[in-house]
């Protein structure tokens, strides 16, 4: 699995990008995380930009996988894939809403 990129037309501009995408019902047993949970990807693009549809496809593939993943591992896998795709520093943060009014934030910077 990899994250697709597109060329950045203006690599010399000091730009910060944050992609915010919903991530819910990934666990087939618990239905966690709940509605309102997101995966946020922040980076400063140089030559490449992350394709928005690529992020959704990557997360959908993780959620459909045969191997159930804990929510921390999801953030780690997204960070690794984004770092490999961009070759630049990336921060990935999972903001999860869980049952019983619990929440969790997990972040990785590579």
pLDDT surpassing 90 at residue 31: no
The reported pTM is 0.92
75 versus 28: the higher-pLDDT residue is: 75
32 versus 51: the higher-pLDDT residue is: 51
- Rounded CA separation 30/108 (Å): 24
Q: Residue 70: what pLDDT?
A: 87
- Rounded CA separation 104/97 (Å): 7
- Rounded CA separation 62/78 (Å): 9
Q: Residue 28: what pLDDT?
A: 67
């Amino acid at each position: 699995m990899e994250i697709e990129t597109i060329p950045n037309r203006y690599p010399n501009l000091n730009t910060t990008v944050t992609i915010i995408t919903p991530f819910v019902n990934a666990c087939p047993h618990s239905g966690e995380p709940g509605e309102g949970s997101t995966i946020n990807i922040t980076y400063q693009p140089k030559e490449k930009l992350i394709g928005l549809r690529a992020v959704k496809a990557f997360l959908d593939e993780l959620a459909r996988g045969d191997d159930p993943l804990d929510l921390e591992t999801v953030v780690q896998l997204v960070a690794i894939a984004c770092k490999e795709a961009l070759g630049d520093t990336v921060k990935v943060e999972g903001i999860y809403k869980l049952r019983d009014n619990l929440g969790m934030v997990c972040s990785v910077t590579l």
